Amino acid sequence: MEGYTTPTPIQQKAIPLVLNRQDLLGCAQTGTGKTAAFAIPILQILCQEPYREKGQKPIQALILTPTRELAIQIGESFAAYGRFVSLRHLVIFGGVSQHQQVESLKRGVDILVATPGRLLDLMNQGIISLQHVKLFVLDEADRMLDMGFVHDVKRVISKLPARRQSLFFSATMPPEITTLADTILTNPARVEVTPVSSTADTIRQSLYYVTKADKKDLLIHLLQKDKAIVTALVFTRTKHGADKVVKDLAKAGIMAEAIHGNKSQNARQRALSSFKSQETRVLVATDIAARGIDIDELSTVVNYELPNIPETYVHRIGRTGRAGASGVSMSFCDAEEKDFLRDIQKLIGKNIPVVEEHPYPMDKNAYVKFVQPQRGQRPPREQSAPRRSSPPPAAAKPSNAPEKKWYGSRPVKKR
């Protein structure tokens, strides 16, 4: 058994609603048990309402998820929760041969966990039919939209039966999600167990101001100095950046591997397995992997580069401090990332504590602070240098000097 004794808040609120056959819009932080909140009631419903017609078992439940890693994690959860029932589940995703997946589909599947691309591909080949689906789950709905899958999602939904139960689970609830939900869900119950885009209290957050050139040295310093960092998940914004960090760490004698979209499925799974078994101390990832990494007792998350989307910060650090466990988040901020930091601190409603005692400090004048407005007051304006909205008074110039035209605050020579 999984050793669960008490349901998490999202499970406590969502499971009864799902069992009551209501559509659901669920918002909860990463790591709060969203998967069990839909997997457990789906298994119970399908056991109570078995498909009794002869022939191949049709797909009765579809879980649509944005990444291969997350699809695999969900499949593992169904395998664990449903080990004593006769329901079959299958995980399908792109980047690998479809042969084995097709053979499993031919044997009949009750629950299908899929990424949009491979699902639509097999549907177009006539291999998958969704006409018997009665339970549909869109997991990590906000990430699905961020990754540009909204049209694929709509194409899948158009092939589902009109009479079905639909569940949306998302770590954040931007307006786009609410709009999409209004077009798909029928009289949904809304479950929101934490403030939108809040960070878990069990995560000890810290901020290091450091120049871009010094980031690699600061990361190496922290990993070599702090032996309490048993495993570290390091986030970069680009695939090239992830590979470069791995090379820099390797030169310092620190075992690290990268996981991102350019890696083959086998390479990604191998890197993830080595990290989970602690053979590899550091895993460097891009944001596409952020939602699909579920590692027990992950000690530390490092934002080597701050994300340009503030909600992504919540998802990144949500890889640690899961299900009530404690965790550590370290964020590096250079001069070009101050606006990203300002947006993050505004979103989470607090300042991230600054660590000033380290070997590579940046100028204190570059620090960014969030000021919580008092009730009834307007938020204070950012204290920054005033922007020049008009050009300074024109100085006398020789008659043969080229004419200058002003755009914003910079002069441009007229050609």
pLDDT of 388 > 70? The answer is: no
Phi, psi of 209 (to 5 degrees): -80, 125
Mean pLDDT check: name the lowest of 156-170, 184-198, 377-391.
Answer: 377-391
Could you report the per-residue pLDDT of 98-141, keeping only the tens digit for each? 999 999 999 999 999 999 999 999 999 999 999 999 999 999 88
List, for residues 349-384, the tens digit of each pLDDT value: 899 999 999 999 987 666 666 665 555 555 444 444
Q: Which residue type does 254 have? A: I
Which pLDDT tens digit goes with each residue over 326-347? 889 999 999 999 999 999 999 8
Q: Which long-range contacts (CB under 8 A, 24 or more apart) does 202-205 make?
A: 202/321, 202/324, 202/325, 202/326, 202/327, 203/317, 203/318, 203/320, 203/321, 203/326, 203/327, 203/328, 203/329, 204/326, 204/327, 204/328, 204/329, 205/317, 205/329, 205/331, 205/352, 205/353
CATH homologous superfamily, domain 9-192: P-loop containing nucleotide triphosphate hydrolases (3.40.50.300)
Report the distance separating Cα 204 and Cα 125, nearest Å. Answer: 49
Confidence bin at 202 (pLDDT 50/70/90): confident
**Domain boundaries defined on the chain:** 9-192, 203-366
How many residues are given for the chain? 415
pTM: 0.65
Class of domain 203-366: alpha beta
Taking Cα atoms as reference points, which of 135, 128, 169, 146 lies closest to residue 33? Answer: 169
Query: What's the Rg (C-alpha) of the chain?
Result: 25
Same fold, 9-192 and 203-366: yes
Contact 188, 23 (CB under 8 A): yes
Contacts of 74 (CB under 8 A, 6+ apart): 35, 39, 63, 65, 91, 113, 139
